[in-house]
Chain A
């Protein structure tokens, strides 16, 4: 009986055991199969962290592959805080030695490697707590050797080479190349591909082509333990280096232009202005070289300028003040693209085109060129009150640059328009229309940010009315108050006068303004680039290009991703015959002796025929703006070169000599060495040194950390890191 009970209960116990173990098995299977996905996700969330490996930024090179912007290898000493935390003294000894070697104060060093958090005082590390903290950038070879030779004393310390943006030609084409700056919170929010450590193009080509230059950042997925210390690398996605932007800028021509500009400014400043009796201020200037056959920009020189390298690693407040302050003369602004100046007689290209096409004049008609002319209430004179006797043709008027000749047509057109306005018809305003056809009054659409190029100003009745409606109250208030802030009494009186006039009559397009526009004076302003594109239209059969600096986008493996050619905006409404007529009038050595020819006395026109138009623009309270717009060779133009120097006198005395120097440099004339063989820009794309993919990934190699791949530790020799441009490599010490 007892035995039976015992057996029964033993059986029951067996069943209990079976039930319990089955429960365990079922539960185990449930967790590891059905519940697995969510548990694995949770697991990854807590022990997987992503660290961004920045992609090396692409280069910006000139037409022959010379880098205008590239990357140099900076030696960066970093501390693997995870490795330090695992050391017995939590890295105290290593940090002390590191402070000794680098000269960084130990207290500061200890602090700057702590990840920033609400309760952590600065300096602290703003980056990811899962990546090594850089403590010294641009480390000297002495520091690197000291660490490398005693690796055993520096566990958790590593030296890495990091690509750092640099502009090897410094200020050469600096304004066009632009610079990079740290990404903003707004950009992080709006552009999903950006990471918080990224640099973003802030100006020039760096900004326009930021996306192709940027490349794709890589990711290193690291595992962390329960204390958040990195235990190893799970996977690494190598970054893809950015594409190279090949420009049509020729660094040689660019340098020639910049030097010619700088020298001309210096030369002009040494001269005395006969009109004012003072030395020329020659405050600023620009030179533009356009490939007339393609519309590509070959050189864009502007003075003053700046070296974009000042922006590397963050610009100091003082350096920024020096670039933007009231006494800086605004070197960040390219006068060639963003400068607005009255074009003077160079604008007669548009005026002559107007009168030859609107039926007022023909290539055979003749008009007088009196020394002075009554225009409205004012008497306007030719420059130096000169005059050509008798009746002259449009060609002669252009070559001689007779203002009164063009006034007569402008006045006739103005009267005609006024009677249309009186009859409630739209004014024709043929001159403004022609000016716009040549690209004046609208942005040229160069491939730099829109804010860095100007549209200039071509006033007409509608625009004036609109502006007056908007600003009338300001004009009137200024007229009443009379500019008490302005110290110069004469200037104050002038400004007050203008304000009063604007208050009542600002909406009027008066006959004087029409006359001013005919000779590129008054409110008519253009940028040197706009003028160059207008003259390109003159010499290339009327095509108005949308100019570009970039020629091609080339990926890191050397494949051309995109070829960029300037688009034709439209054809100016001037016949080929008339364009030829105008060109011929302005060609040197053709007998008409155009005004610029004197500046080319002694120039080997037989080797390089030149055509060009000078301009001398008056500006209230300032000395004259000197212009010269030219092309060469005149029979089959390759280049259009425009020069402008502010407060420098006549076109023939400042801008034209500067442009002459530029031709000398390009073609190797007058004792100069040719910067372009045969004077032609390269027709093929330069070979771009491709990026090497290896080492571009910044694998963390630290002590105690299992190495994901065969972690290479290249011997540290000075030549080793000099050869590592565009690479990023880390090695443990």
Chain B
């Protein structure tokens, strides 16, 4: 990353573009990024297995049922990721409005026919027990369409730049508003973070950035003061502010999560050996609190390695952004990086007791198909941009 920062902005990469274009695809794919995603996906499957095993046994069900489905999710996700990576770069731009529109329709559908889990109306039940969470795909839609909007407007100098931001915000407002209605504050927070990161890197005036942050604080304050947030959401924040109040459900979750992680120690109890996990003391452990399984059973070495894997992944994403010759690719990469870092920090942070409890999954590790597909597609997008970088190196 240091290397990235110091790179002179005007330097052409010393590799001939024509030569690069003839490179076989395996030479230009970011294998480190792909490897990190795959390893995290495999670790996640193991953790999901451990978290669900004892309950499945008690129910007399297949103890590997969740493992199998998560492995299937991962496999399907890989296929999706490869497809997205292989799409022609220009096609991405063409498809961006379609993805945006589709995700908005999905969010509308969830409000109409969705099911409620943990207070959020976020899922659409499909036949055969499958469920879709459109807000996961909405993140992709937002990133691609916003990258397109900001990059397209920057190229045309006929319009005043001042309209960039309102337009982008308008674009984001539709899916955000729909998600607010579910309500899913966590995802909205991810949206805000992604938008801020993309606007920043798009080069909009710092006044806009500061103003938006200020607006966010005011809105957050008002939503608490005016009781716009639901009770369970307030509880989570109260529990965060006062962890000793364990009678609150959210406080109980965090308390149990911390116990699980703390009792893992340096090396952990070993897979399937965690008493917090086997005793099912941590609620939602295979989804939102999956990191506690790693903390308890793999210890600091294992859980720390997961954080490091995320760090490497984000480094690769930001590196791809830095190497991107056009603003669209850069903004896509920045959007994905902002999305991932936001979710990683909020999710792991809540299990460590430093962030409030929100229903955000941990990328690649939490159980769930929609999130896995969206994450894999996002990595596919990064690979797409990366290969484009290799073919048409950075220029100003």
- Flag whether A46 is at the interface (Cβ < 8 A): yes
Binds A, one of B17-25, B134-142, B299-307: B299-307
Task: Tell me which of B200, B265, B330 contacts A32 (CB under 8 A).
Answer: B265
Complexed CA–CA distance, A39 and B352 (Å): 12
Binds A, one of B76-84, B112-120, B338-346, B382-390: B338-346
Q: B201 to A47, Cβ gap below 8 A?
A: no
Q: B262 to A35, Cβ gap below 8 A?
A: yes
Instruction: Enumerate chain B residues within 8 angstroms of A21, measured Cβ to Cβ.
Output: 307, 310-311, 314, 341, 344-345
Q: B266 to A33, Cβ gap below 8 A?
A: yes
- Flag whether B349 is at the interface (Cβ < 8 A): yes
Number of interface residues of A (CB under 8 A): 46
Distance to closest chain A CB from B180 (angstroms): 24
Within 7-47 of A, Cβ neighbours of B (below 8 Å) are at 7, 9-14, 16-18, 20-21, 23-25, 27-29, 31-33, 35-36, 38-40, 42-43, 46-47
Instruction: Enumerate chain A residues within 8 angstroms of B307, measured Cβ to Cβ.
Output: 21, 24-25, 28
Q: Tell which of A13, A23, A36, A38 has the most Cβ of chain B within 10 Å.
A: A13
Task: Tell me which of B201, B304, B315 contacts A10 (CB under 8 A).
Answer: B201
Complexed CA–CA distance, A371 and B164 (Å): 143
- Flag whether B57 is at the interface (Cβ < 8 A): yes
Q: B258 to A32, Cβ gap below 8 A?
A: no
Interface code A356-376, partner B: CB below 8 Å = 1, 0 otherwise? 000000000000000000000
Q: Tell which of A6, A23, A42, A87 has the most Cβ of chain B within 10 Å.
A: A6
- Flag whether B4 is at the interface (Cβ < 8 A): yes
Complexed CA–CA distance, A420 and B263 (Å): 86
Q: B341 to A17, Cβ gap below 8 A?
A: yes
Instruction: Enumerate chain B residues within 8 angstroms of A488, measured Cβ to Cβ.
Output: none
Task: Tell me which of A9, A18, A28, A704 contacts B295 (CB under 8 A).
Answer: A28
Instruction: Enumerate chain B residues within 8 angstroms of A505, measured Cβ to Cβ.
Output: none
Complexed CA–CA distance, A9 and B5 (Å): 10
A-B contact count (CB 8 A): 153
Q: B281 to A9, Cβ gap below 8 A?
A: no
- Flag whether B9 is at the interface (Cβ < 8 A): yes
Instruction: Enumerate chain A residues within 8 angstroms of B4, measured Cβ to Cβ.
Output: 10-11, 14
Task: Tell me which of B281, B314, B330, B341 contacts A6 (CB under 8 A).
Answer: B330
Q: B280 to A18, Cβ gap below 8 A?
A: no
Within 225-281 of B, Cβ neighbours of A (below 8 Å) are at 258-266, 275-276, 278-281
Instruction: Enumerate chain A residues within 8 angstroms of B281, measured Cβ to Cβ.
Output: 46-47, 225-226
Within 314-364 of B, Cβ neighbours of A (below 8 Å) are at 314-315, 318, 321-322, 327, 330, 334, 337-338, 341, 344-345, 348-349, 352-354
Instruction: Enumerate chain B residues within 8 angstroms of A28, measured Cβ to Cβ.
Output: 261, 295, 300, 303-304, 307, 348, 352
Complexed CA–CA distance, A20 and B307 (Å): 11
| Closest residue on chain B to residue A7 by CB atoms | B9
- Flag whether B93 is at the interface (Cβ < 8 A): no
For chain B, the bracket of interface size reads 35 or more
Complexed CA–CA distance, A232 and B58 (Å): 13
- Flag whether A3 is at the interface (Cβ < 8 A): yes
- Flag whether A5 is at the interface (Cβ < 8 A): yes
Interface code B187-206, partner A: CB below 8 Å = 1, 0 otherwise? 00000000001001111000
Instruction: Enumerate chain A residues within 8 angstroms of B264, measured Cβ to Cβ.
Output: 32
Distance to closest chain A CB from B131 (angstroms): 24
- Flag whether B127 is at the interface (Cβ < 8 A): no
Instruction: Enumerate chain A residues within 8 angstroms of B275, measured Cβ to Cβ.
Output: 43, 47-48, 223, 231
- Flag whether A2 is at the interface (Cβ < 8 A): yes
- Flag whether A4 is at the interface (Cβ < 8 A): yes
| Closest residue on chain B to residue A10 by CB atoms | B201
Complexed CA–CA distance, A3 and B394 (Å): 11
Distance to closest chain B CB from A667 (angstroms): 68
- Flag whether B69 is at the interface (Cβ < 8 A): no
Distance to closest chain B CB from A705 (angstroms): 10
- Flag whether B154 is at the interface (Cβ < 8 A): yes
Q: A2 to B203, Cβ gap below 8 A?
A: yes
Q: B322 to A43, Cβ gap below 8 A?
A: no
Complexed CA–CA distance, A43 and B264 (Å): 10
Interface code A428-449, partner B: CB below 8 Å = 1, 0 otherwise? 0000000000000000000000
Instruction: Enumerate chain A residues within 8 angstroms of B278, measured Cβ to Cβ.
Output: 223, 225, 231-232
Q: B352 to A9, Cβ gap below 8 A?
A: no
| Closest residue on chain A to residue B347 by CB atoms | A24
Instruction: Enumerate chain B residues within 8 angstroms of A225, measured Cβ to Cβ.
Output: 54, 278-281
Say yes or no: A3-B9 contact (C-beta < 8 A), given A21-B344, A23-B354: yes
Q: B295 to A24, Cβ gap below 8 A?
A: no
- Flag whether A290 is at the interface (Cβ < 8 A): no
Instruction: Enumerate chain B residues within 8 angstroms of A47, measured Cβ to Cβ.
Output: 275-276, 279, 281
Complexed CA–CA distance, A38 and B1 (Å): 38
Q: Tell which of B261, B263, B318, B322 has the most Cβ of chain A within 10 Å.
A: B263
Q: B200 to A39, Cβ gap below 8 A?
A: no
Task: Tell me which of B154, B202, B345, B396 contacts A24 (CB under 8 A).
Answer: B345
Q: B279 to A223, Cβ gap below 8 A?
A: yes
Q: A33 to B201, Cβ gap below 8 A?
A: no
- Flag whether A508 is at the interface (Cβ < 8 A): no
Q: A17 to B318, Cβ gap below 8 A?
A: yes
Complexed CA–CA distance, A17 and B336 (Å): 12
| Closest residue on chain B to residue A38 by CB atoms | B262
| Closest residue on chain B to residue A35 by CB atoms | B262
- Flag whether B60 is at the interface (Cβ < 8 A): yes
Say yes or no: A32-B300 contact (C-beta < 8 A), given A10-B201, A13-B338, A225-B278: yes
Distance to closest chain B CB from A432 (angstroms): 72
- Flag whether A224 is at the interface (Cβ < 8 A): yes
Distance to closest chain B CB from A533 (angstroms): 62
Q: A9 to B300, Cβ gap below 8 A?
A: no
- Flag whether A570 is at the interface (Cβ < 8 A): no
Q: Tell which of A21, A25, A224 has the most Cβ of chain B within 10 Å.
A: A21
- Flag whether A622 is at the interface (Cβ < 8 A): no
Distance to closest chain A CB from B19 (angstroms): 25
Q: A27 to B322, Cβ gap below 8 A?
A: no
| Closest residue on chain A to residue B282 by CB atoms | A226
Distance to closest chain A CB from B20 (angstroms): 21
Complexed CA–CA distance, A43 and B279 (Å): 10
Complexed CA–CA distance, A269 and B276 (Å): 75
- Flag whether A426 is at the interface (Cβ < 8 A): no
Say yes or no: A31-B261 contact (C-beta < 8 A), given A10-B321, A10-B334, A225-B280: yes
Instruction: Enumerate chain B residues within 8 angstroms of A13, measured Cβ to Cβ.
Output: 197, 200-201, 318, 334, 337-338
Within 1-53 of B, Cβ neighbours of A (below 8 Å) are at 1, 4-5, 9
Within 688-725 of A, Cβ neighbours of B (below 8 Å) are at 704
Instruction: Enumerate chain B residues within 8 angstroms of A23, measured Cβ to Cβ.
Output: 345, 349, 354
- Flag whether A151 is at the interface (Cβ < 8 A): no
Q: A88 to B60, Cβ gap below 8 A?
A: yes
Complexed CA–CA distance, A40 and B304 (Å): 19
Q: B330 to A39, Cβ gap below 8 A?
A: no
Say yes or no: A10-B322 contact (C-beta < 8 A), given A3-B9, A24-B352: yes
Q: A9 to B266, Cβ gap below 8 A?
A: no
Instruction: Enumerate chain B residues within 8 angstroms of A43, measured Cβ to Cβ.
Output: 259-260, 262-263, 275-276
Q: A39 to B337, Cβ gap below 8 A?
A: no
Q: A6 to B349, Cβ gap below 8 A?
A: no
Complexed CA–CA distance, A13 and B303 (Å): 24
- Flag whether A278 is at the interface (Cβ < 8 A): no
Q: B337 to A27, Cβ gap below 8 A?
A: no
Complexed CA–CA distance, A511 and B345 (Å): 105
11 contacts between A and B (CB under 8 A): A6-B203, A17-B337, A21-B344, A23-B349, A31-B262, A31-B352, A39-B258, A40-B265, A47-B281, A225-B280, A226-B280
- Residues of B bordering A, CB below 8 Å: 1, 4-5, 9, 54, 57-60, 154, 197, 200-203, 258-266, 275-276, 278-281, 295, 299-300, 303-304, 307-308, 310-311, 314-315, 318, 321-322, 327, 330, 334, 337-338, 341, 344-345, 348-349, 352-354, 396
Closest 4 CB pairs of A and B: A39-B262, A225-B279, A43-B263, A32-B300
Additional A-B contact list (9), CB under 8 Å, known A32-B266, A32-B299: A5-B203, A11-B5, A17-B341, A20-B341, A21-B345, A38-B262, A47-B281, A88-B60, A225-B279
